[in-house]
Structure 1
Amino acid sequence: MALSSMDFTPPATQNVKLKPSVYEKIIQIGASETPLLNKIGTSSVTSPLLHSWLTDTLADPKKNANLELSKFNGETKNTTQKTSNATQIFITEVSVTTALMKAKQYGGNEMEYQVGKKTKEHKRDIEFALFGLGRDSDVKVSVFKEHVQAQNGVSGEMAGLFHYIAKGQTSFSGGKRGNVLAFDEAKDWSGTPSLLTEDKLSQILQSIWDSGATPKDVFLGASLKPAINKLATRIFGNEKNLVGNVMSLETDFGTINFHLHRLLSPKYGLGDVLIAGDFEFMKHGLYIPTFIEDVPTDATAKAKRFYTQSTLEVRNADAFAIGVGLSSVEGGVLKLKK
C-alpha cells in the first residue's frame, strides 16, 4: 500500500516532513514592499488560461407586511453573475558565477543575497499587476484595461483591481465610473485634483456601506498622507493612533486602518488615488503557487528561477470604492460629516 501525504504512524501525529509552501514563506519577506499582496488572502485556480468566479447580490430591503391568510408568492430571480480574469505568469531569474559564489565578501553568500533580493522583486511585480500598471503608456488607461487571455505567442495578462471596481463602466458619468469616484474639477480624472477632506473620505466610505459591505482598510500614498495626518490630529489631538506603518481611525463606519502604498505615488501616476474596502473580498488566485527551481546551464554559474502563475479575484466589487483626483493641500480645512 502506497504511503500518501496524509498518512502517518503513531506515535507520529502528522507528516512533519512535508515542506511548507514556498509562497507562504516568501509572502513574509519584504512585507512592507507589497502591502496589498500581504493583505489579501489566496484562492485556488483550476484553469491555466482563464479563472472565473460567481457573484450574487441581495435585493434591496422593502416593506414586508402581510395578511394572516396570504397567498404564496415565491418569486425568485436568478441574479448570479460570472466574472473572469486571465492568469498571468511571473518569472524572475538569478544567476551567479561559480567564482563569485566561492569568493569571501561582505554580506555573506552572494547567491543567498541575490535570492532574497529577487524574492522581493518577484513579489513587487505581482503587486504591480494587481493594480493593472504597465499595460499602457497612459496610466489612466492601463489600470482599467480588461484581461488578455494567453494564446500561442501571446502572454496572458490579468486585469487589475480598477477594472473590476469600475463594474464594467467604460467612462466616467457624473463623477462616477462604477465604484470609482472622481473628485477632480472635471469629474473624470482629467482635471485639477481637489483637496481630500473628511467629507470626501466619508463619501467614499459611505458608498461601500450603502452597498451592504463594511469598509475596513484604506490604501493611499505619501502625497495624500498629510490630509490623513490632519484628520488624525483633529480626532486624537497630538497623539496619533499609529502602529508601525498603519494608522487606525474611528469613524461612523467603524475602525478604518490606513496603509501607505509606494505604488500610489506620482511616480506611477496614482498619487491622487485612495482605495478603500473590505479586502476579504479580494483574493490572489493561485494556479501555480510560487516555487524556486534550479535551472540547468552549461555556463560556469548557478542559476535559479522564481515562477508564479496567478490572477486577481474580486469577489464583490461593491465591497470597494476608489477615490481619484484627490490632493493634500497644506493648510486646507478638513471636516468630517457625521
Structure 2
Amino acid sequence: MAITSTGFQTPATSRVGLAPSVYDKVLLIGADETPLLTLMGQGSKVTSTKHSWITDTLAEPKKNAQLEISDFTGAKKSTKQELSNNTQIFTTEVMVSKTMQAVKTYGGKELEHEISKAAKEHKLDIEYALLGLGRDSNVKLSVFKEPTARTDSSAAEMAGLFHYVAKGVGAFSSGKRGNVLAFDSTGNWQGAATPLTENELSQILQQIWDSGATPKDVFIGATLKKAINKIATRQFGNDKAINTRVVTLETDFGKVNFRMHRFLSKKYGLDDVLIAGDFSYAKNGLLIPTTIEDVATSKTAKQKRYYTECSLEVRVPDAFAIGVGLKA
C-alpha cells in the first residue's frame, strides 16, 4: 500500500512527520518587514496562471412596504462579478564559493547566512508586488496597472492592491477612483497634500463601513504616523504606546490597528498614502508554494534558489479603502 500525505494506520492516530512548507517558514522570517503579506496569509490553492474569483455586493437599502397580498416581481438580477489576476514568478538566488563554505566568517557559516538573507529578500519582492510597485517609473501609474499575462518573451506581472481597490475605474473624478480617495488640492493625487486629521481618517473608514465591511487595520508610513500620534495623544493623553509600531485606536467604526509599513515612504513615492481595510478579504494565492532548490552548476560554488509562483487575490474590494494626497 502506498504511503500518502493523508493516510495512516494503527498504531498511528494521525498523519505526522510531514515537513512544514518552506513558504510557512519564510513567512516567519522578518515578519514585521512584510506586514501586508503576513497579515493576508495564504489563500486558496491557485490552479492556473490566470487566477479568477467571484465577488458580490449587497443591494442598497430601500423602502419595503408591501400589501398583505402582493405579487412576486422577480426583477432582481445577479450582481456577481468575476475578478482575476495573473500569477507572478519570484526567484531569489544564492551562490557561495567552495572556499567561502569552508572558511570561518563572522556571523556563522556563509551559506546558511546567505540563505536566511535571501528569504527576507524574497519576501520583500513579493510585498513590493502586492502594492503594484516597480511596474512603471511613475509610481502613481504603476500601482494601478492591470495584470499582464506571460508570453514566450515576457514575464507575467500580477496587479497590486490599488488596482482592485480602484474597482475598475480608470481615473479620479471628484476626488474618488473607486474606493481610492484623493485628498490633495486637485483631487487627483497630483496636487498639494492635505493634513491627515480625524476628519480625513473618518472619510476613509466610512467608505469601507458604507460598503458593508468593517475596517480593522490601517497601514501608514513614518510620515503619516506623526498625524496618527497626534490623534492618539488627543485620545489617550501622553501615552508611550503611541510610539510603538502598532497603535490601536477607538474609532466610530470600532477598534482599528494602525500598522507601520516601510514601503509607504518617500523613497517609494507612497509617503502620502494610507491603506485601510479588513485584510481577511485579501490573500496571497499560491500556484507553486515557496521552494528552495539546489541549482546544478559547473562552477566551484554551491547554488540555491528560492522559487514562488503566486497571485494577489482581493476577494471583496469593498472591504478596502485607500487615502492618497495626505500629509502629517
TM range (shorter): over 0.9
Instruction: Find out whether 1:250 has 2:250 as its counterpart.
Output: yes
Aligned mates of 1:140, 1:46 — CA distance in 2? 29
Aligned mates of 1:191, 1:38 — CA distance in 2? 33
Deviations 1:126-176 (A, max 9, x none): 000000000001000101111110111110000111111111111111011
- Residue 130 of structure 2 corresponds to 130
Aligned mates of 2:6, 2:164 — CA distance in 1? 38
- Residue 25 of structure 2 corresponds to 25
Which 10-residue stretch deviates more, 238-247 or 291-300?
A: 238-247
- Residue 146 of structure 2 corresponds to 146
Deviation of the 1:44 alpha carbon: 2.8
- Residue 63 of structure 2 corresponds to 63
**Partners of 2:215 and 2:278 within 8 A in 1:** yes
Aligned mates of 2:243, 2:72 — CA distance in 1? 55
- Residue 159 of structure 1 corresponds to 159
**Partners of 1:94 and 1:118 within 8 A in 2:** yes
Q: Give the letter aligned to residue 231 of structure 1.
A: I
- Residue 283 of structure 1 corresponds to 283
Deviation of the 1:241 alpha carbon: 4.4
- Residue 334 of structure 1 corresponds to none
Deviation of the 1:239 alpha carbon: 1.7
Deviations 1:192-249 (A, max 9, x none): 1110111000010011101111000000000111100010000000125459521000
Q: Give the letter aligned to residue 327 of structure 1.
A: K
Deviations 1:88-132 (A, max 9, x none): 000000010111111112211111100110000000000000000
Aligned mates of 1:44, 1:109 — CA distance in 2? 37
Q: Secondary structure at the match of 2:82?
A: strand
**Partners of 1:222 and 1:265 within 8 A in 2:** yes
Deviation of the 1:46 alpha carbon: 3.5
Task: Determine what percentage of the aligned residue pairs are the same residue.
Answer: 61
Deviation of the 1:286 alpha carbon: 0.6
Aligned mates of 2:40, 2:180 — CA distance in 1? 20
- Residue 88 of structure 1 corresponds to 88
Q: Secondary structure at the match of 1:233?
A: helix
Instruction: Find out whether 1:50 has 2:50 as its counterpart.
Output: yes
- Residue 8 of structure 2 corresponds to 8
Instruction: Find out whether 1:106 has 2:106 as its counterpart.
Output: yes
Aligned mates of 1:164, 1:16 — CA distance in 2? 39
Q: Secondary structure at the match of 1:156?
A: coil
- Residue 336 of structure 1 corresponds to none
Which 10-residue stretch deviates more, 232-241 or 7-16?
A: 7-16
Instruction: Find out whether 1:302 has 2:302 as its counterpart.
Output: yes
**Partners of 1:240 and 1:247 within 8 A in 2:** no
Q: Secondary structure at the match of 2:234?
A: helix
Which 10-residue stretch deviates more, 249-258 or 237-246?
A: 237-246
Aligned mates of 1:15, 1:301 — CA distance in 2? 38
Deviations 1:33-61 (A, max 9, x none): 10000000222344442111111111111
Which 10-residue stretch deviates more, 280-289 or 12-21?
A: 12-21
**Partners of 1:165 and 1:321 within 8 A in 2:** yes
Deviation of the 1:72 alpha carbon: 2.5
Aligned mates of 2:211, 2:178 — CA distance in 1? 12
Q: Secondary structure at the match of 1:9?
A: coil
- Residue 177 of structure 2 corresponds to 177
Q: Give the letter aligned to residue 2 of structure 2.
A: A
Q: Secondary structure at the match of 1:267?
A: helix
Q: Give the letter aligned to residue 282 of structure 1.
A: A
